[in-house]
Amino acid sequence: MIRVDITSKSFNGTPVLGRVAFEIAPGETLALVGPSGIGKSTLLRILAGIDADFEGSVERPDALAFVFQEPTLLPWRSVLKNLLLPHPDLTQDQARDMLVRVGLAGKDGLFPGQLSLGQQRRLSLARAFAQAPELLIMDEPFVSLDPETAEVMLRLTEGLIADHRPATLFVTHDTREADRLADRTLTLRNHPGGAVID
């Protein structure tokens, strides 16, 4: 069980988050919604352990994966090496099997600059799921994609989540994405002491 109990988070004395408390069960998918700039990405960074400067507590597994808005690939490494880099125990055959799973068969020797944005996003998903994380965090993973590519990515993500069943929290501004992927939706709302979960 993932447990988040944040009492406050500030930047340079300015409150960003107030009381934010929720749990995510194994295999459960939560969508996080709210207006731009309210602190959704900050909450994800706290959950991932990237930002430890907050009041409160977070219980999470060590085996976690983060899919950022941008693919965050190393342009000087091949597709295969980008996938293997965070997974030193993964064999090349296992990595190639994962590339097949996300529709990147035969692309292992290419570099990120030779891939479309949709293909880069697929590689990011492959990297996230390569060693079956217990916690998956996604920050607007389908943003700026054309409708057809976004639909392909949604179907792919649905399948990967169904296969691996991680506890998942993802940020979206699209209610259709939340309806498709999420078991529950959390809403961050403005509050004088910082955004809070509604």
Q: What is the DSSP string of 132-172?
A: --SEEEEESTTTT--HHHHHHHHHHHHHHHHHH--EEEEE-
Count of helix runs (H) and strand runs (E) in the chain: 6, 10
Which long-range contacts (C-beta less than 8 Å, at least 24 apart) are formed by 142-148? 142/172, 142/174, 142/177, 143/69, 143/173, 144/117, 145/117, 145/118, 145/121
Instruction: Quickly tell me which residue has 């509604």 as its tokens.
Output: 198
Count CB neighbours of 119 within 10 A.
19
Question: What pLDDT was estimated at residue 152?
Answer: 84
Question: What pLDDT was estimated at residue 182?
Answer: 93
Tens of pLDDT, residue by residue, the chain (198 residues): 999 999 999 988 889 999 999 999 999 999 999 998 899 999 999 999 999 999 999 999 989 999 888 888 999 999 999 999 888 888 899 999 989 988 899 999 999 999 988 899 889 989 998 878 999 999 988 887 788 888 888 888 888 888 889 999 999 988 888 888 899 999 999 887 787 886
For 179, phi and psi rounded to 5 degrees?
-65, -35
Contact 1, 25 (CB under 8 A): yes
Question: What pLDDT was estimated at residue 33?
Answer: 92
Q: Which amino acid is at 195?
A: A
Question: What pLDDT was estimated at residue 141?
Answer: 83
